[in-house]
């Protein structure tokens, strides 16, 4: 669940206004696309949710944690309720598929037994059974992104935030990935996908939030509005 | 913290040491070099201190009894007042007869022709606890009724005290500087390791690892490198010390110089080396990772 009230974000180093009085609510269990051109503020919204940046003014609540002025030492607790996926996968290259996923459980203090039980289940869920011992460099882009999804899922987060997850994939793999997100969403996990891809957004009848010029310019269930970003 | 988690953190610390083998070797070597320089300066300082203490013990004052006190027992009784004087370590009475005998044994008998012992005064040879307070002690002894005058080599005392102070200050300054240099080098070495693993650290942060979990392998790495450096430096120092002191003693056979044997300070040196290694490693590791934990 995400709740933003009148959020403004100014990057002081470059004096850039990234968000200007944004109000946004994403309810538990929703599937949301966040679309908009480069520099519109999409990444800032994502960073505000993950606690990487703080709002200049306004209030940000994520999964029942008010993170507006949260202490850094409390952030790990919030992040354990989130799964984050990046366009460039961000896998650790010298770790196997299994270890990349298990790593996310180890760092939050899961027992070896819990890791042995949970990791194979999640790898199977994302369709990577039999690939456990491979290194990321031995996998295709789509498979690498599935490893990233497995890593995001393994700690059973309440919400998954994906930043351009299909940016490096062909249309077929992108569609497969979206279907996987839909499957995860049906299991109760809130999904927010930040994307540019018009066809992909329109292939799913989901809520679309459009952001441009630091403002939310549309928010509805009618799919892509035909707004030309590029 | 669970056993499996601790095991994981320790394994990660050691993994980083082997992954960055050359940098780890460089860190251990530099810590070793700093500790050996630091230890050598400290051992030199210890030896100078012992030497000065020996010389201090030999630096006596002589308190002469007034001519009017001729009776030996009467003169000897003054030792009670001298012993009560602050800073007096030891008092030895020398009668005028003994003083003359000592003089005659040193010089030609013909010098003493026609001179009897009354030329000499009864006297006390006084050794001090602290030669830096020699001037005050001299004054206190001169104020004792029955003591005519006190001979003291104040300028020697001042020189000894100055040498000791200089050695202490130089050693301390060098030790502080070398500890700082070691921490700086250790930090930079581990910083290289953290730079190579910055992506891993960013992922750890993103999945909700707390700072202590992220920091721990780097601290373990620093500790292991510090302890290795400290241990190796200890044995190297031992070898160097034995070699140099052996040569020194061979050159100064029969002289007044006495060298502190390494075995008598070995435990202290080992504890200090390992302790410094631990501090340098832990501080270096913590320092190196600090910037990456701010996300």
| Per-run averaged pLDDT (10 residues), chain B, 295 residues | 71 78 82 85 82 72 87 87 88 88 74 72 88 85 89 76 81 82 74 74 86 84 89 94 86 69 92 89 79 66
Question: Are residues A211 and A36 in contact, defined by beta-carbon separation less than 8 angstroms?
Answer: yes
Q: Is the same domain home to B163 and B49?
A: yes
pLDDT of A139 above 50: yes
pTM of the model: 0.66
Q: Is the same domain home to B181 and B271?
A: yes
Count A/B contacts: CB-CB distance under 8 Å: 51
Residue A230: the pLDDT is 46
Q: Is the same domain home to B164 and B241?
A: yes
Q: Among B152, B173, B189, which residue terminates a domain? A: B152
Residue A54 to residue A215: CA distance in whole angstroms: 17
Residue B255: the pLDDT is 58
Q: Is the same domain home to B30 and B66?
A: no
Residue B209: the pLDDT is 86
Q: Is the same domain home to B96 and B230?
A: no
Q: Is the same domain home to B39 and B123?
A: no
Order the strands of the B61-65 sheet from edge to edge: B88-94, B123-128, B61-65, B147-151
Yes or no, beta carbons of B295 and A106 under 8 Å apart:
no
Interface test with B, best of A48, A76, A78, A136 (most B CBs within 10 A): A76
Residue B186 to residue B180: CA distance in whole angstroms: 10
Residue B190 to residue B196: CA distance in whole angstroms: 10
Residue A84: the pLDDT is 94
Yes or no, beta carbons of A80 and B208 under 8 Å apart:
yes
Q: Among B123, B152, B181, which residue terminates a domain? A: B152
Interface test with B, best of A54, A72, A88, A106 (most B CBs within 10 A): A106
Q: Nearest-CA distance from A90 to chain B in Å?
A: 7
Yes or no, beta carbons of B2 and A109 under 8 Å apart:
yes
Which residues of chain A lie closer than 8 angstroms to B8, CB-CB? Answer: 106
Domain enclosing residue B73, as ranges = 60-152
Residue A182: the pLDDT is 94
In a domain, A164, yes or no: no
**Could you give the dihedral angle defined by the CA atoms of residues A68, A70, A74 and A76, in that order, rounded to the nearest 10 degrees?**
30
Q: Is the same domain home to B288 and B192?
A: yes
Which residues of chain B lie closer than 8 angstroms to A78, CB-CB? Answer: 208
Q: Is the same domain home to B194 and B276?
A: yes
Q: Nearest-CA distance from A230 to chain B in Å?
A: 30
Q: Is the same domain home to B66 and B49?
A: no
Question: Are residues A184 and A191 in contact, defined by beta-carbon separation less than 8 angstroms?
Answer: yes
Q: Is the same domain home to B17 and B146?
A: no
Residue B4: the pLDDT is 65
In a domain, A7, yes or no: no
Yes or no, beta carbons of B206 and A111 under 8 Å apart:
no
In a domain, A147, yes or no: yes
In a domain, A14, yes or no: no
Q: Is the same domain home to B168 and B239?
A: yes
Closest Cβ opposite residue A107 in set B199, B207, B294: B207
Residue B193: the pLDDT is 65
C-alpha neighbours within 13 Å on the C-beta side of residue A12: 5
Domain enclosing residue A118, as ranges = 91-156
- Comparing A30-44, A113-127, B201-215, the range with the smallest average pLDDT is B201-215
Residue B53 to residue B64: CA distance in whole angstroms: 25
Quote the number of domains for chain B: 2
Quote the number of domains for chain A: 1
Yes or no, beta carbons of A106 and B8 under 8 Å apart:
yes
Question: Are residues B216 and B9 in contact, defined by beta-carbon separation less than 8 angstroms?
Answer: yes
For range A38-57, the mean pLDDT: 92
Residue A191 to residue A30: CA distance in whole angstroms: 6
Around Cβ B269, how many Cβ atoms within 10 Å?
21
Interface test with A, best of B11, B20, B208 (most A CBs within 10 A): B208
Q: Among B152, B184, B216, which residue terminates a domain? A: B152
- Is B11 touching A (CB cutoff 8 A)? no
A31-35 and A190-195 strand pairing: parallel
For range A22-46, the mean pLDDT: 92
In a domain, A103, yes or no: yes
Residue A225: the pLDDT is 55
Residue A114: the pLDDT is 93
Q: Nearest-CA distance from A179 to chain B in Å?
A: 23
In a domain, A111, yes or no: yes
Yes or no, beta carbons of A79 and B199 under 8 Å apart:
no
Residue B142 to residue B16: CA distance in whole angstroms: 71
Q: Which two tokens stand for residue A86?
A: 């990046």
Cα distances (Å, whole numbers) of residue B190 to A14, B130, B194: 31, 48, 6
CATH number at residue B69: 3.30.70.3040
In a domain, A114, yes or no: yes
Which residues of chain B lie closer than 8 angstroms to A151, CB-CB? Answer: 207
In a domain, A127, yes or no: yes
For range A51-64, the mean pLDDT: 95
Q: Is the same domain home to B97 and B216?
A: no
Write the pLDDT tens digit of every residue in A187-230.
Answer: 999 999 998 788 888 888 899 999 988 999 989 876 665 555 44
Q: Which two tokens stand for residue B23?
A: 């940098």
**Beta-bridge mates of residue A19:** A9
């Amino acid at each position: 669940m995400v709740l933003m009230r009148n959020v403004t974000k100014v990057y002081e180093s470059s004096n850039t206004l990234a968000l200007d009085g944004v109000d946004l609510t994403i309810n538990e269990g929703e599937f949301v696309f966040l679309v908009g051109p480069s520099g519109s503020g999409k990444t800032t919204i994502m960073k505000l949710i993950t606690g990487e940046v703080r709002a200049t003014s306004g209030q940000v609540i994520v999964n029942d944690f008010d993170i507006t002025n949260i202490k850094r030492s409390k952030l790990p607790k919030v992040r354990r309720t989130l799964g984050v996926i990046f366009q460039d996968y961000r896998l650790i290259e010298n770790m196997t598929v299994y270890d990349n996923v298990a790593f996310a459980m180890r760092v939050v203090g899961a027992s070896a037994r819990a890791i042995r039980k949970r990791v194979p289940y999640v790898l199977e869920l994302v369709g990577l059974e039999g690939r456990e011992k491979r290194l990321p460099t031995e996998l295709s882009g789509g498979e690498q992104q599935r490893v990233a999804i497995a890593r995001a899922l393994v700690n059973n987060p309440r919400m998954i935030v994906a930043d351009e997850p299909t940016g490096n994939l062909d249309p077929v793999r992108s569609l497969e990935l979206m279907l996987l997100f839909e499957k995860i969403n049906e299991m109760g996990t809130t999904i927010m996908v930040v994307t540019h891809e018009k066809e992909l957004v329109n292939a799913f009848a989901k809520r679309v939030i459009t952001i441009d010029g630091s403002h939310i310019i549309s928010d509805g269930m009618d799919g892509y509005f035909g707004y030309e970003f590029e | 913290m669970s056993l499996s988690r601790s095991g994981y953190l320790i394994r990660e610390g050691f993994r980083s040491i082997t992954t960055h083998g050359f940098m780890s070797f460089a860190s251990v070597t530099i810590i070793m070099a700093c500790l050996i320089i630091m230890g050598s300066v400290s051992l030199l300082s210890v030896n100078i201190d012992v030497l000065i203490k020996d010389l201090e013990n030999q630096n006596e004052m002589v308190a002469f009894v007034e001519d009017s006190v001729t009776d030996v027992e009467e003169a000897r009784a003054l030792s009670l007042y001298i012993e009560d004087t602050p800073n007096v370590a030891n008092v030895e009475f020398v009668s005028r007869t003994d003083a003359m005998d000592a003089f005659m044994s040193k010089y030609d008998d013909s010098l003493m022709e026609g001179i009897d012992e009354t030329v000499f005064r009864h006297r006390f040879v006084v050794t001090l606890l602290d030669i830096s307070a020699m001037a005050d002690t001299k004054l206190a002894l001169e104020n004792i009724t029955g003591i005519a005058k006190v001979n003291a080599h104040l300028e020697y005392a001042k020189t000894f005290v100055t040498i000791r102070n200089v050695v202490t200050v130089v050693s301390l300054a060098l030790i502080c500087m070398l500890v700082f240099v070691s921490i700086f080098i250790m930090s930079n070495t581990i910083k290289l390791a953290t730079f190579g693993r910055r992506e891993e650290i960013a992922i750890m942060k993103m999945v909700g690892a707390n700072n202590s979990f992220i920091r721990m392998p780097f601290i373990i790495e620093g500790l292991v490198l510090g302890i290795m450096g400290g241990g190796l430096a200890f044995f190297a120092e031992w070898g160097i010390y034995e070699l140099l002191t052996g040569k020194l003693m061979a050159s100064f056979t029969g002289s007044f110089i006495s060298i502190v044997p390494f075995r008598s300070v070995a435990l202290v040196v080992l504890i200090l080396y390992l302790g410094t290694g631990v501090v340098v490693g832990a501080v270096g590791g913590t320092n190196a990772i600090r910037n990456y934990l701010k996300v």
